[in-house]
Structure 1
Amino acid sequence: MRKKWLAVGLAVGLTGVLAWGIGGSANADSTGFVLYKSALSQTKEAGSMTAHAQLELTDNGSKLFAVDGVAKVNHEQQLASVDGTFSNANGEGSFQVFRQQDQVVFKKGDSDVYRVMETMGWGRKAQRDADEEPSAVMSHMHNMLFGEIGKGMTVENLPNGGKQVSLQLSEEQLPMFAKFIGPMVYSKIAEHSQEAAAAHEHGPAVKLPLLQEDVQLAQVVLNATINEKNQIEQQTAKVELVGTDAAGIEHTLRLSVDIRLSDLAATAPEQIDLTGKQVEKITREELRNEWRKGGWWHHEAE
C-alpha cells in the first residue's frame, strides 16, 4: 500500500505544486493566469465534488504502476470516500478509504479488516490554516521559483463557452529549481522502492530503476478545462524524466495524471458503518512506520 499512496501522492503533489505555482506567480497580464486562478477559486467554493482520477507510470513504455479511482469529498460535512483499483507487474487489487467522524478507515478489497486511524477534525485544521498568513519571505521565494513558469501558458476558447488553459515546458524551458528538485526527489523515491521490493519480493511493490547518470526532467505538460460556469472540469499532467542506470541502460519514465471533476456542490461521499465488522486500530505513528518499512503491503497480503 505504501507504494500505491506514494505514487498517488507524488502525482497529485507534483501537479498541485506546479498548478499552484502558475496560479500564484504568473505575470498580472497573463490571460492564462487570470483564468486559471479565477476558475480554481470558483471550483473550491463548490464545497463538495467528485474526482475521477487515473494515474499511470511507465518505464520505456512498460507499465510499472496504474491507479484508477473515484474520490468524493464534502468539506462542509467533513466527509470523504475513495474507491479505487490498482495494477502493477505483480497483479491487480482494489482499496477503499473513508474519512468520517474524525477518523480515517482503510480497507483492502479482498480483506475483511477495516483499519481505523483517529485524526484531527477538518474544522480545526481549516481554522488553523485560515489564521496562518504567508510571510513576505515565502511570497518572494514563491515568485522566484515559479515566476517564469506561467509565461508559457496558452488559452483556447471552446465551442461550449468554456476555456482550455495549457502549459507545455520542454527541458530547455524548465526553470532551474525544477531541473534540480525533480531528479533529487526521484532518487529518494527509487531508493525506497528498491528497499521495499527487496524486503517483500513477492509483494506488489513498485520497483523503480536507479538512475545514476544524465538524470533530468525532460518535459512537463499541464492542461485545465474550464467550463462555462468558470469551474475546472478536468486537469491533466504529464511528466517525463530520463536517465541512465548503472548498467548503461537508458530509461524514460513517464507519469500521467488525469483528474475529472463532477457533481460540484452536489456530492455525497460514501460512509461505512463499522458495527459488527472486524476493526483494527492503528495510530498515525504506526502507519508511518509501516509505510517506511514497506510493511503495509506485506501485512495485507498475509
Structure 2
Amino acid sequence: MNKKTMAMAASLAIGGSLLFGAVLTNASQLSGYEAYKNALNDTKNLQNETIDMTASITDNGSSLANISSNLKRNESSNAMSEVTTLKSGDVNQTYSSYEQDGKRITKNSNSDQYLERDDSHLNSKAAKDTQNPVVQKSMEVVVDTLVGSMQNKINTTDNADGTKSININIGESDVTPLVNALTSLAFTAENHRGSYQNTSSEKTNMKDFKDLIPQLQSDIKVVSVNSTGNINSNDIITNQTATIVVSGTDAQGTQHQLTFKIDLNLSNINSTTPDKVDLTGKQVKTVSFHNEEN
C-alpha cells in the first residue's frame, strides 16, 4: 500500500509497532514476486482512494483487541477523513481525524472537544514527493536479501479476466534469520518505548498499545505468515488479508503466541470524497503544530 496507508494500518492496527512493517509489509513487497512488487508500487502511488481495515489481536487464543478503520483520501484537494474504533475488554473508543480547509481536526470519543491545528503550510508535500529511484532500488535489494528463500512461498496467479490472485504461505522453517531478528528487535524496542499517542495532547485517548500486547523478551520468532489478496486489471491491489503468528516469552517466563489478523480493502479509487466535520456549535481547541508529536 502507499506510505500513508501503511502508516495508518501500522499505527492503528498494532499501535505503531514495527511488526507490521517488518513482517507484513515486507511479505507484501515480496509477493509474486516481481508481479506483486510492481502492483505494490502502483498501489503506493495512489492519490485518491477509500481504505477499510479490520484487525484483531489474540494471545494464546484469547482476544486482546479488535480494530476497525475507514480512511478516505484525496491528495489533490488536500483532504482526508479517518474514523477508527478500538475494542478491548470493556474499552470501546473511537478516534476521528479530518484534514480539511488547511486544518487538521481530531476528536476522541472520550471527550466532547475537537482539536484543530493549522496544516496549510504542509500542502501534503510529503505524501506527494516521489521517492528517489536510486533509494527505491537500494531498498528493493535490501528486501530481497532479507527474504531470501521466503520468495518461493509467495505467489501470484493470473486470472482470465486480467486480474491476479495473491497467495502467501510462510511457515516457521521458511522464515529467514534476519526477519526473525528484525521481529525480535521490533518487539523489544516497543517494550522500552513510551506510551503510543497521536499527539502530546492525546496521551490518554487511545488505549496504550503496551497495555494490550504481552511484553515479549526472549525467543521471539515468526511462526507463520499467511495472506491472500487480489490485484485488479489496472495493477492495483484492491484487497489483502493476512494472519501473522509470532511467539515469544515474557519476563516472567510465560510463553505467548500472538496472532495478528488484518483485512485491508481499497475501493472508490480516483473517486473518493473524504467526509468533512462541521464545527458549528462544537467545543474546539486550537493547538500549535510545534507542540504536536507527529
> Aligned pair 1:225/2:230, yes or no?
yes
Deviation at 1:12, TM superposition (A): 5.3
Shift of 1:178: 1.1
Cα distance between partner residues in 2 of 1:281 and 1:133: 41
Matched residue SS, 1:76: helix
CA, structure 1 residues 90+186, in 2 after alignment: closer, same or farther (shift >3 Å)?
Answer: farther
Any idea what the Cα deviations from partners look like across 1:8-34, whole Å, max 9, x if unmatched? 5436534663156426xxxxxxxx223
- Residue 264 of structure 1 aligns to a residue whose secondary structure is coil
Residue 243 of structure 1 is matched in structure 2 by 248
Aligned partners of 1:154 and 1:136: how far apart in 2? 21
Change (3 A) 1:92 1:160: farther
* Partner of residue 7 from structure 1, selected from 14, 24, 42: 14
Instruction: Output one character per residue of 1:171-207: Cα deviation in whole Å (capped at 9) or x when no partner.
Output: 22112221101012112323448999xxx99x94342
Q: Which residue of 2 aligns with 1:205?
A: 208
Paired AA for residue 213 in structure 1: S
Which one is further off, 66-75 or 113-122?
Answer: 113-122
Is 2:138 the counterpart of 1:141? no
Matched-pair contact (CA < 8 Å) for 2:237–2:266? yes
Call closer, same or farther: CA 1:8–1:158 in 2, change over 3 Å: farther
Give, in whole Å, the separation in 1 of the partners of 2:186 and 2:245: 14
Tell me which amino acid in the other structure corresponds to 2:165.
Q
Q: Please give the TM-score of this superposition, normalised by the length of structure 2.
A: 0.78
Paired residues for 1:154-169 under 5 Å: 154-158=155-159, 162-169=163-170
Residues 1:171 and 2:172 aligned together: yes
Judged with a 3 Å threshold, the aligned counterparts in structure 2 of structure 1 residues 182 and 76 are, in CA distance, closer, same or farther, namely same
Which segment is superposed worse, 173-182 or 104-113?
104-113
2:220 & 2:291 partners in 1: Cα distance?
A: 34
Does the alignment pair 1:252 with 2:260? no
Partner in structure 1 of residue 109 of structure 2: 109
Q: CA deviation at 1:63?
A: 1.4
Partner of residue 36, structure 2:
36
Distance 1:272 1:16, change over 3 A: farther
Q: Which runs of 5+ in 1 are unaligned?
A: 24-31, 292-302
Cα displacement (A) at 1:128: 4.5
1:150 aligns with 2:165: no
After superposing the two structures, state which structure 1 stretch, 239-248 or 163-172, moved more. Answer: 239-248
Superposition pairs of residues 122-133 of structure 1, within 5 angstroms: 122-126=123-127, 128-130=129-131, 133=134
**Aligned 8 A contact 1:43 1:232 in 2:** yes
The answer on whether the counterparts of 1:191 and 1:210 sit within 8 Å (CA) in structure 2 is no
Q: CA deviation at 1:79?
A: 1.1
| Alpha-carbon shift at residue 158 of structure 1 (Å) | 5.0
Alpha-carbon distance between aligned partners in 2 of 1:251 and 1:99, rounded to the nearest angstrom = 39
Q: CA 1:38/1:21 → structure 2, altered by over 3 Å: closer, same or farther?
A: closer
Displacement, 1:107?
A: 0.6
Any stretches of 5+ residues in structure 2 without a counterpart?
1-9, 198-202
From the superposition, tell whether residues 14 and 77 of structure 1 become closer, same or farther in structure 2 (CA, over 3 Å). farther
In terms of mean alpha carbon deviation, does 230-239 or 179-188 score higher?
Answer: 230-239
Corresponding residue pairs, total: 275
Larger radius of gyration: 1
- Residue in 1 aligned with 2:71? 71
1:267 partner amino acid: T
- Structure 2: how far apart are the matches of 1:44 and 1:246? 39
Deviation at 1:90, TM superposition (A): 3.5
| Corresponding residue SS for 1:270 | coil
TM-score (norm 1): 0.76
Query: Quick check: 2:15–2:208 contact (8 Å CA) kept in 1?
Result: no
The answer on whether the counterparts of 1:240 and 1:255 sit within 8 Å (CA) in structure 2 is yes
Shift in alpha-carbon separation, 1:156–1:5, aligned structure 2, 3 A: closer
Write the distance in 2 (CA, Å) between the matches of 1:183 and 1:261.
Answer: 31
* Distance in 2 (alpha carbons) for counterparts of 1:274 and 1:258: 32
Gap change, CA 1:209 and 1:102, over 3 Å in 2 = same
What's 1:272 paired with?
A: 277
**Contact in 2 for aligned 1:21/1:146 (Cα 8 Å):** no
**Which residue of 1 is the match for residue 95 of structure 2?**
95
- Is 2:23–2:183's contact at 8 Å kept on the other side of the alignment? no
Question: Does residue 18 of the first structure (1) align with residue 23 of the second (2)?
Answer: no
